């Protein structure tokens, strides 16, 4: 690694020594930027990299709420505005017991480059809490969201910072958050949060966008090898928002999804997962995947097992960070898997990614492959600003064009360094260059 990159990495390690996932995300990007640093000496002269690795602002706050028995609980809330060179901070909120400042910082850092790749005018941010919505009543989730927003509303706005959903934050949570923002500010400012229900100013196709986008990206990668998704056998990890709509689009394009999972285990169904059952279990009843065989009347539940040992042509990690490790990659390669498209953020460990690249497996990194969600959030902001409401088909058409353009950008930028199939290199360089140019012009 070049001396400047090393220096920056050392500073970042010193400042964030207790945040391994953030350091992993920074190393992943810096490790690919050497050719850019060599070709653009002003990156070092203006110290653009160190600036990009230090958040512009970080907020930590206490969230106090009462459960249905009146017992008082204390959680921690976070919001990081990482980079506003391209526009207002934009990125979701994650509610999960594993959340801490390092997780939010990693997600916000990824978001800078992802948002840049969409070509829209949105900066990078992220937030969340260690609150666990699982097993809570609607009233408890509402009281938590209201308490969370009581602090957060001071710091967000349609021109400042625009949150959305992520793990544990779906339409229900967004509704409570937006409803409380409206009460606190006495303003129906719909552009302040995205992922809203269509009835309260949300965009059609937002809930589908991340999963659909990851599949559209896979379709583009396969097209480079003159192949299609039709007839492909696929596995998808997770069974939340991203996973469900990845499965739906794969089914529509003629692929068969034979396995999916949640944090308790996975379901294998040779003739194809019954998506209606998954949607009923997860979107309506909020139940565990272990109930799939009894509800669907078919399939096998595999407690504590991931999906990666199931033979497949294409794999879509859509659950969480570092869920696909080296040994999982070895299984996939042994079984002749030819494509990975990351619906989740950083789901593959660096060792797994290296193995995929070594073995010529097409690898679509999350920054590019899952950018469809934030892209449609950007379109939601655009519709809210213009008091418009576009049809499902119109939004989906925009989404497909954006995913195609991200794919093209990745190949073009990686192609400049003679590695057009290296989507990781292309995504990092293309994402970085647009933010670097904007930061330079801002002069801060």
The residues that touch ligand NDP, with contacts defined as CB under 6 A, are 98, 165-168, 210, 238-243, 262-264, 318-320, 323, 343-345, 370, 373
> What's the min distance (Å) between Cβ of 98 and ligand NDP?
6
Residue 411 in tokens: 């190949």
> What's the min distance (Å) between Cβ of 303 and ligand NDP?
12
Catalytic residue among 126, 136, 207, 409: 126
> What's the min distance (Å) between Cβ of 95 and ligand NDP?
8
Q: Which is nearer to ligand NDP, 231 or 264 (CB)?
A: 264
Question: Which of helix, strand or coil describes residue 41?
Answer: coil
> What's the min distance (Å) between Cβ of 444 and ligand NDP?
28
> What's the min distance (Å) between Cβ of 146 and ligand NDP?
20
Q: Which is nearer to ligand NDP, 21 or 314 (CB)?
A: 21
- List all residues 6 or more positions away from 109 whose beta carbon is below 8 Å from its beta carbon: 22, 25, 26, 29, 53, 82, 124
The answer to whether 158 and 122 are in contact (CB under 8 A) is no
Q: Which is nearer to ligand NDP, 35 or 265 (CB)?
A: 265
Question: Which of helix, strand or coil describes residue 335?
Answer: coil
> What's the min distance (Å) between Cβ of 423 and ligand NDP?
16
Of the candidates 434, 237, 239, the residue with the CA atom closest to the CA atom of residue 341: 237
Q: Which is nearer to ligand NDP, 244 or 436 (CB)?
A: 244
Place of tokens 């967004």: 174
Give the number of C-alpha atoms closer than 13 A to the C-alpha of residue 378, restricted to the C-beta side. 26
DSSP β-ladder status, 161-164 and 233-236 = unpaired
Residue showing the smallest CB distance to ligand NDP in the complex: 240
Q: Which is nearer to ligand NDP, 232 or 367 (CB)?
A: 367
22-27: long-range contacts, CB 8 A cutoff, minimum separation 24: 22/102, 22/103, 22/105, 22/106, 22/109, 24/106, 24/322, 24/346, 24/350, 25/106, 25/109, 25/110, 25/346, 26/53, 26/109, 27/350
CA 207 centroid distance within chain? 13
Q: Which is nearer to ligand NDP, 36 or 125 (CB)?
A: 125
Residue 367 is among the residues annotated as catalytic for this protein: no
Residues with active-site annotation: 126
């Amino acid at each position: 690694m070049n001396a400047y990159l090393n220096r920056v990495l050392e500073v970042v390690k010193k400042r964030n020594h207790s945040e391994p996932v953030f350091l992993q995300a920074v190393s992943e990007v810096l490790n690919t930027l050497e050719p850019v640093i060599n070709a653009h000496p002003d990156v070092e002269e203006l110290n653009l990299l160190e600036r990009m690795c230090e958040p512009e602002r970080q907020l930590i706050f206490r969230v106090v709420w009462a459960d249905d028995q009146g017992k008082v609980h204390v959680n921690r809330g976070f919001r990081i505005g990482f980079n506003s060179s391209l526009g207002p901070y934009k990125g979701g909120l994650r509610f999960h017991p594993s959340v801490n400042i390092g997780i939010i910082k990693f997600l916000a850092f990824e978001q800078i480059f992802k948002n840049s790749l969409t070509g829209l005018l949105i900066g990078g941010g992220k937030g969340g809490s260690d609150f666990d919505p699982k097993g809570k009543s609607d009233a408890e989730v509402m009281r938590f969201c209201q308490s969370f927003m009581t602090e957060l509303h001071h710091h967000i706005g349609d021109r400042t910072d625009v949150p959305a959903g992520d793990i544990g934050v779906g339409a229900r949570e967004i509704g409570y958050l937006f409803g409380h923002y409206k009460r606190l500010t006495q303003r129906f400012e719909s552009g302040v949060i995205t992922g809203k229900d269509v009835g309260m100013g949300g965009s059609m196709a937002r809930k589908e966008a991340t999963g659909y986008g990851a599949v559209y990206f896979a379709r583009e990668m396969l097209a480079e090898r003159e192949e299609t998704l039709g007839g492909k056998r696929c596995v998808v990890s997770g069974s939340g928002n991203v996973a469900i709509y990845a499965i739906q689009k794969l089914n529509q394009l003629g692929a068969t999804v034979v396995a999916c999972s949640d944090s308790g285990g996975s379901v294998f169904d040779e003739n194809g997962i019954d998506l209606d059952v998954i949607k009923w279990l997860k979107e309506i009843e909020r139940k565990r995947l272990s109930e799939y065989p009894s509800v669907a009347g078919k399939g096998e539940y595999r407690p504590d097992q991931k999906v990666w040992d199931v033979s497949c042509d294409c794999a879509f990690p859509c659950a969480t960070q570092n869920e696909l490790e080296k040994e999982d990659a070895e299984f996939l390669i042994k079984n002749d898997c030819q494509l990975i498209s990351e619906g989740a953020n950083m789901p593959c460990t660096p060792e797994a990614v290296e193995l995929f690249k070594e073995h010529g497996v097409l690898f679509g990194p999350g920054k590019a492959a899952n950018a469809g969600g934030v892209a449609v959030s950007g379109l939601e902001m655009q519709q809210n600003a213009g008091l418009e409401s576009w049809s499902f088909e119109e939004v989906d058409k925009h989404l497909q064009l954006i995913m195609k353009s991200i794919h093209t950008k990745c190949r073009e930028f990686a192609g400049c360094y003679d590695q057009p199939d290296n989507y990781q290199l292309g995504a990092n360089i293309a994402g970085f260059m647009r933010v670097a140019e904007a930061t330079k012009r801002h002069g801060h």
